[in-house]
Chains A and B, each alone.
Chain A
Amino acid sequence: MFERFAHFGVRLAAVVALAAPLPLAAQSCPDCVFNQGFENEFFLPANDAEAARFLNQATFGATRADIGSVKNLGYESFLDVQMARAPTLERPQLEARAATVRLNNQTINQDDRVHLWFNNAVTAPDQVRQKVAYALSQIIVTSDQNDTLNGEPIQMAEWNDILVRNAFGNYRDLLREVTFSPMMGKYLTHLRNRKYEVTPRCRPNNNPTGNPTDCNSDSAAPFVITPDAANNYPGGYQVGNNGNEPDENYAREIMQLFSIGLVTRNQDFSVVDDPGNPGNPLPTYDQQMIRTLSRAFTGLAYDCSGNQTVQGVVIQQNCSGPGARNSAPPPTPGCSGSDCRYFNLSTLFFNDPPRARLPNDSGDSSLVHPDFYRPLVCYPRYNDLGRDRKRFQLPDQALTPPVNTTYDAGVAAPSGAQGAGKPLVLSGTTLQTLPEFRPGASKETVPDCELSGATALTGLTPSQRLECINYCEDNVRSVADLLFNHPNTAPMVARQLILHLVTSNPSPEYIERVANVFANNGAGVRGDLKAVTKAILLDPEARRPFTGQFGKPREPLMKLVAVWRNFNATSGDGRRWGPTNPQTAYLQRPHGAPSVFNFYEPDYQQPGAIATAGLYSPEFQIINENTIMLASNDLFTRICSGYGSNNCSGAFATTAPTDRAFFPPAQLDALPGMACATNINGCSGADDLALIEELNVRMMGGSMPGAVPNPTTGSGNTGMKGALHTLMRQGLIGNLGQSGATAAVDARRRKALYLIHLVAISPVYSHQR
């Protein structure tokens, strides 16, 4: 696909900007001792704690098994193994669940999806992929809190899967796929977005931009149109569809949030000054650009692919004749394939695909036709071609002189030739999308993509019908490519991913190193998310020991997920994990942000010392006096979760809880410093220290401050480590009055749970270092 980007009047072919990559080792890192590339010592963790610290960045939480893997393989090979793992997807699992409950005439809802999300986050073997997908879900946001998505768990599961599948693919493909995604189409409202409809008032072959009286000289009678003086439309045009213009929502946010951002940036994320307005950042686009771009995202609606079988259930869909999509096909089909987008336009464009009914026919089941989540397709009647509906260029298009364009190798433009394009011009920057049809064609010879119904099938040849569709869909892809190839996209995506995985305040050099990998993975490919992920996690800045203000505030909900994973929690019934409305306590919900701006914004600075120091602290936007307590209380309940009541306030359950996750006693018993509970002499200070150290490693990557110089006497204890040890030795009672053989074991387990919770709400743990 071709794209061209001219910047400050200088043409920059995107591919040229990618050329001649610097070898990683030679990149500038002037104040950095690692400027000769990665030292050997950074390939392998020196100890368990370093491995765990890496895992707490790269996965949802360090486990003993993964710590061993990282120590054996080294960081990069561990990532290679992870990246080779097959993606764990939600939608097929959720469809299976929907099919199962359907047999009982029941439906599923978002609760089922949220359970499944937690299950995959804690237990999926492709951990790094899942973690990166979760990071992406906070950059490219849709949300089940939206009215049109709330009742659609299958759609939201497929949204998750788009991110999971593309997490180690290419950002270009991701940007394209989300653009065509029905879920995004609903969330940012470009589903069924329609063009601004304008019709020349005169006969088709008259130039409506000229004197309207030309109409009278036409050989046939002109249209009779009452002048619309109140609306001040030029005499030559009539406006249709109430004068509605394309929805600008997606055009704006794909630029602001998913790709280039608001202001022009260097590759290290620093802002480019506006030469025309010194002291101010140079904007990347303005309102006119958004308005122009919005015209590309028109004409998209659900596909109609006919009958499909999902989980053994046939979901019928009639695409070929007028009537409802889910009605029986008429005896004589009126169209087939994509031709139905012309012939059966009003039915297919404006209606949703069908759903499988419940067996007792009391309503729809949760099984939906795959067209519900497959990419949207173009209905040319409603797509803005950059010309009016009778083949004339719109005036603001006609004023722009044609621009010569070039193509990526191997990409065929519609009708295969170069020619005048459809420019998007703003702020002196010209973005060039695909050329008009068959450049050089006259207004009399281009196909009339406006046609619909039977007329379309007679008035357009089969190849013309495809040409109209291809033009539209290629144009959307082309716009996504333009943004993907914009220089800003590399530092924007690089910084955001660093923020979600490693640190809220990466150095400009760190951002630039990752952005350079985004721009070129070393093999000439831009947007390779595998390479980007590696660059982020293997960067010397991420791997060198914690210092200063490095790291990030831990996401409130990720405390719960990490603790579950750190200590091998499991779902009691193999399906449910408990929190179906985690946003109440944590202000976070998987694929459930309050708006497209996510739970918090990357540039949030907590007022006070953090803002004064010039630091960003995104997660603090949802951490306040109220939620900090709600989250702490919820964590306690879930860490202590047992059958019936909870293990921290009553006897330790021997049965798994049915509807939520818990720590199996065997997992707790396997922790260091636990076996002593069965000793006749009980547990020693060294046992307590062993348990604390294990929490230090798994939960905190070794970042727990303090020392326990003499575990036997407890004298000289300092810092957090010392405070916890003193508590264990002197004050922490785990026995709730139980007696008998299990009392000592239960008490020790309970102490472990108390300790895990105390660490989880501590100020140091709350800062992922």
Chain B
Amino acid sequence: MNHPKNSRRAFIKGTAGLVAAGGVGSFVPKLNLIGEALAQSAVGGYKALVCIYLGGGSDSFNMLIPTGTTLGNEYDHTVYRTSRGLYYSTVNDPVTFKSPDGLGIPRATTANCLPQAIALTSGVAAGGNLGLNPFMPGIANLYNQGRVAFLANVGTLYEPLTRATYNNRRKPPQLYSHNDQTNLWQIGSSVSSTTQRGFGGMIAGITANPSPLGLSSAISVAGSNRFLIGRTLADQAVFPFQLSTSATTPATTLSNYNPNSSTAGEAARRSTLDALINETYPELFSKEHGDIFGRSLTLSTNINGTISDAVGNATLYVPNSNPNANIRGNAVGNNVNFPNTGLAQQLRQIARVIRVSRPGYTPTQAGLTPINANRQVFYATAGGWDTHSGQITSISAAQGQHLLLQQLSEAINWFYAELTAMGPATAGGIEAVDQVIGFTQSDFARTINGNDNGTDHSWGGVQLAFGGPAAITGGQVYGRYPSMKLDNRIGGTGAVVPDRGECFSRGQFIPTLAVDQMAASFARWMGVDNSNLPLIFPNIDNFATGPFANAGASPTFAYFNRVVPNLCTGIT
């Protein structure tokens, strides 16, 4: 019996790949004792990683849709249509008399149904194999231009797995559970869902230089998350600084305690507050509260000044809060309408922070310390993806999941255009789009089989990544898009297409690409040395050199490597 509440979750034991299970007494060497061999030199320039977390589990096989006409392969649209309970339609099917609550999206114009999937013209998707959800034209354009890549059937894995080996190999803990799977995606490894760190924070810890301002290189515009918690190679904790989406007060300041106030007693109250905050409390809950308060007091004025001065500045192209003001009507401006959704507001704040954080940027207001970051990792989120009901409720309006997909597409499309408009930090420098990779994550995909206009939790799904030519090699679908052929649901063991991904009875796909591989690709691009990858991803070699990595049996995996080869430009 162990007592996890008392246990210390040390995260690495000795060399790569072995992780302490966390029982009492499993104290292990701290990271800084591991040895110089793993230390890496500081990296220069500027790069940023933007995680867009889709909370609740996105039904991503309705985002990237099989539209193929060849019967029997993985792109066979008729199999997809059947497995999804036919098309969503406003009328009963005259042939089958089935009710109109199927979840399918047509590949061609079909009366009383949703618009057809948007054709994709690049990579394996080309030739009518895969289409994009009709509510995502912006992403379709970016993909066709090579700026968006899809990762198919990616999910949490401990090691390569098939249905046949399901009961014999190690699996991620607590499959299908929202909070656990969210944690695993954000940790980037499926060892334990209680690991107290995320790959974003770890990448920041390993690659970021200390900011002169003292601003964390891990920044959340969407509250607490596991993703941005990390450590440096010197075993210093990395935790996110949390910003609002406001243009004027991105970091909320404290009112009524102005140290320079002329209001009677206000300055005195502030100095007493400072004394209370700065006191060293042995009680950790008090100490932590004081630390957060103090950090906010110290940084908020500088951050607010740096960002708000730049916002709306015509030469800086920092977007302000006017939904229309970003249409600047010139060649370098962002001509995409700001969608003004919650996600878009988060991405806009991230764009502002990037604009004022890169080396070479000097705050316009005197007396402010530049942020001058070499690496930043951001976290944004959009909720509502847990579509157990009401997944599709209209054949024309963006509602249910389609509203979410539309908002995702519009937000990314705007953000990419904004980065394009932002350009280099200094003349002749590297373009912003080439300094930023954005990507989506979600708890899991959803059952292909429906539950009356909703779907339930499943496993592997489709995610996307975007960036400029020097960041993402887009226009490609990485990994294997699985066949939508379901196991039959009545006690049988119906045929599946093993080398194209296997699923359980309602269409819960066993991933053929691990979260670890996807995340490690970003880590390498950000500058984490190959030798340091196991610090972040202790299971990474299960997919590269482990006994099941290249078994030669079905399913064959698309990529046998620590990373997804070529997903990130220059990372093989």
Point out residues on A near B: beta carbons under 8 Å: 147, 188-189, 192-194, 196, 198, 230-234, 237, 239, 241-249, 252, 256, 262, 266, 268-273, 279-281, 283, 287, 290-291, 394-396, 399, 504-505, 508, 548-549, 551-553, 587, 594-595, 597, 601, 603-617, 620-630, 632-633, 636, 648-649, 719-720, 723-724, 726-727, 730-737, 754, 757-758, 761-764, 766-767, 769
B510 to chain A, nearest CB (A): 12
Given contacts A271-B2, A731-B265, contact A626 B451 (CB under 8 A): no
Bound Cα distance from A754 to B272, whole angstroms = 12
Complex-state Cα separation, A283 to B177, whole angstroms: 12
In the complex, which residue of chain B has the Cβ closest to the Cβ of A251? B456
Residue of B nearest to A606 (CB): B288
**Whole-angstrom CA separation of A375 from B450 in the bound complex:** 26
CA distance A244 to B99 in the complex (A): 11
Choose one: A188, A269, A272, A595; the contact of B5 (CB below 8 Å): A269
Are the CB atoms of A608 and B237 closer together than 8 Å? yes
26 pairs across A/B with beta carbons < 8 Å? A196-B489, A231-B82, A232-B492, A234-B492, A242-B102, A243-B450, A244-B449, A247-B452, A262-B180, A270-B4, A549-B284, A553-B285, A553-B288, A597-B179, A608-B288, A617-B284, A622-B224, A624-B220, A624-B224, A636-B256, A720-B279, A732-B265, A736-B263, A737-B264, A763-B277, A764-B283
Extra contacts, 5 of them, besides A242-B450, A649-B263 (Cβ < 8 A), are A232-B492, A241-B452, A629-B252, A734-B265, A763-B281
Query: A291 CA to B46 CA in the complex, in Å?
Result: 48
Contact in complex: B275, A607 (CB < 8 Å):
no
Stretch from B238-246, B365-373, B466-474 at the A interface:
B238-246
B242 touches A624 (CB 8 A): yes
Which residues of B are in contact with A by a Cβ distance under 8 Å?
Answer: 1-9, 21, 23, 55-56, 78-79, 82-83, 85-86, 98-99, 101-102, 173-180, 194, 196-197, 201, 220, 223-224, 229, 237-244, 251-256, 263-265, 267-269, 271-273, 275-277, 279, 281, 283-293, 295-296, 299-300, 383, 386, 388-390, 447, 449-452, 454, 456-457, 485-492, 494-495, 504, 506, 508
Residue on A with the closest CB to B76?
A230
Contact of A623 among B4, B251, B254, B292 (CB under 8 A): B292
The 4 closest A-B pairs by CB, nearest first: A731-B268, A242-B85, A733-B265, A763-B290
> When A189-B454, A193-B451, A242-B85 are in contact, do A287 and B288 touch as well, CB less than 8 Å?
no
Indicate whether A626 sits within 8 Å of B285 (C-beta atoms), given known contacts A193-B452, A287-B175.
Answer: no
For B103, the closest partner residue in chain A by CB is A242
Give chain A nearest CB distance to B318 CB in angstroms: 20
Contact present for A553 and B289 (CB under 8 Å): yes
B273, A758: Cβ atoms closer than 8 Å: yes
The answer on a CB contact under 8 Å between B85 and A243 is yes
Q: Are B269 and A727 in contact (CB under 8 A)?
A: yes
Q: How far is the CA of A727 from the CA of B276 in the complex (A)?
A: 12
- Collect the chain B residues with CB atoms within 8 Å of residue A735's CB: 264
Measured CB to CB, the nearest residue on chain B to A610 is B284
Let me know if A232 and B1 touch, CB within 8 A.
no
Contact partner of A614 (CB less than 8 A), chosen from B5, B21, B265, is: B5
B455 nearest CB neighbor, chain A only: A247
User: In angstroms, how far is the closest chain A Cβ from the Cβ of B364?
Assistant: 23
Given A610-B284, A731-B265, A734-B265: A242 and B86 interface contact (C-beta under 8 Å):
yes
How many Å from the CB of B345 to the closest CB on chain A?
A: 14
A287, A615, A649, A723: residue with the most chain B Cβ atoms closer than 10 Å: A287
Are B252's CB and A630's CB within 8 A? yes
Contacts of A736 in B (CB 8 A): 263-264
A649 to B255, CA, bound (A): 12
Given A549-B283, A623-B289, A624-B292, A614-B268 contact (CB < 8 Å): no
CB pair B4–A248 under 8 Å, yes or no, is: no
B268–A730 touching, CB < 8 Å: yes
Residue with the greatest number of chain A CB neighbours at <10 A, chosen from B242, B268, B279, B452: B452
Measured in the bound complex, the distance between the Cα atoms of B388 and A147 in whole Å is 13
Cα A730 to Cα B268 in complex, Å, equals: 9
B389 touches A189 (CB 8 A): yes
What separation, in Å, do the CA atoms of A629 and B390 have in the docked complex? 37
Q: Assess the B82–A230 pair: CB atoms within 8 A.
A: yes
Give the chain B neighbours of A269 by CB distance below 8 A: 5
Please name all residues of chain A whose beta carbon is closer than 8 Å to the beta carbon of B450 when the two chains form the complex: 242-245
Task: State whether A245 touches B296 (Cβ < 8 A).
Answer: no
- Give the shortest distance, in Å, between A688 (CB) and chain B (any CB): 13
Report if A763-B293 is in contact (Cβ < 8 Å); known contacts: A249-B388, A610-B288.
Answer: yes
B449 contacts A243, CB within 8 Å? yes
Contacts of B299 in A (CB 8 A): 625
Closest to B3 in A: A270
**Cβ–Cβ < 8 Å partners of A766 in chain B:** 285-286, 289
Contacts of B272 in A (CB 8 A): 723-724, 726-727, 731, 758
Q: Which chain A residues lie closer than 8 Å to B492 at the CB level?
A: 232, 234
Report the minimal beta-carbon distance from B375 to chain A, rounded to whole angstroms.
19
Contact present for A628 and B292 (CB under 8 Å): yes
Contacts of B1 in A (CB 8 A): 266, 270-273
Who on chain A is nearest to B250 by CB? A626
Q: Which residues of B contact A283 (CB under 8 A)?
A: 174
Contacts of B490 in A (CB 8 A): 198, 233-234, 237, 394-396
Picked from B2, B173, B287, the residue with its CB within 8 Å of the CB of A609 is: B287
Q: Tell me the complex Cα distance, A375–B7, Å.
A: 43
Assembled-state Cα–Cα distance A418/B481 (Å): 50
> Are A607 and B506 in contact, with the CB atoms below 8 A?
no
* A244-B451 contact in complex given A648-B256, A763-B287, C-beta closer than 8 Å: yes
Contact A767 B176 (CB under 8 A): no
Query: B20's closest neighbor in chain A, by CB?
Result: A279
Q: Which residues of B contact A273 (CB under 8 A)?
A: 1-2
CB-defined contacts of B457 to chain A, threshold 8 Å: 248, 252
Check A764/B176 contact, CB under 8 A, given A271-B4, A625-B300: no
Q: B85 — which chain A residues lie within 8 A by C-beta? A: 242-244
Residues of chain A within 8 A (CB-CB) of B3 are: 268, 270-271, 508
**Across the interface, do A242 and B98 meet the contact criterion of CB distance under 8 Å?**
yes
**Chain A residues, Cβ within 8 Å of B179:** 597, 601
| CB-contact partner of A587 in B175, B223, B251, under 8 A | B223
- For residue A114, give the distance in angstroms from its CB to the closest CB of chain B: 21
- Which residue in A256, A290, A767 is a CB contact (below 8 Å) of B283? A767
Give Cα A763 to B290, complex, Å: 5
- The contact of A595 among B21, B55, B494, by CB within 8 Å, is B55
Q: Which residues of A contact B254 (CB under 8 A)?
A: 629, 632-633
B456 touches A248 (CB 8 A): yes
Across the interface, name the chain B residue whose C-beta is closest to A228: B82
The smallest C-beta distance from B350 to any residue of chain A, in angstroms, reads 15
Cβ of B252: which chain A residues have Cβ within 8 Å of it? 625-627, 629-630, 633
Structural contact, B489 and A597, CB atoms closer than 8 A: no
In the complex, which residue of chain B has the Cβ closest to the Cβ of A382?
B452
Residue of A nearest to B4 (CB): A271
Interchain nearest-CB distance for A765 vs B (Å):
9
Of all chain A residues, the one with the shortest Cβ separation from B93 is A242
Residues of B within 8 A of A597 (CB): 178-179
CA–CA, A730 and B3, complex, Å: 51
Q: Is the CB–CB distance between A231 and B488 below 8 Å?
A: yes
Task: State A446–B79 Cα separation when bound (angstroms).
Answer: 38
Q: How far is the CA of A727 from the CA of B275 in the complex (A)?
A: 11
A456 shortest CB reach to chain B, Å:
21
- What residue in chain A is nearest B299 (Cβ atoms)? A625
Question: Considering only CB atoms, which chain A residue lies closest to B271 in the complex?
Answer: A731
A623 to B98 Cα, complex, angstroms: 50
On chain A, the residues within 8 Å of B269 by CB distance are: 727, 731-732, 754, 758
**Beyond A283-B174, A625-B241, A733-B268, is A241–B488 a contact (Cβ under 8 Å)?**
no
Partner of A280, one of B173, B290, B295: B173
Knowing A594-B383, A609-B287, say if A626 contacts B242 (CB, 8 Å): yes
Tell me whether B494 and A252 are in contact (CB under 8 A): no
Once the chains bind, are B268 and A727 in contact (CB under 8 Å)? yes
Are the C-beta atoms of B288 and A625 separated by less than 8 Å? no
> Is there an interface contact between B495 and A628, defined as CB atoms closer than 8 Å?
no
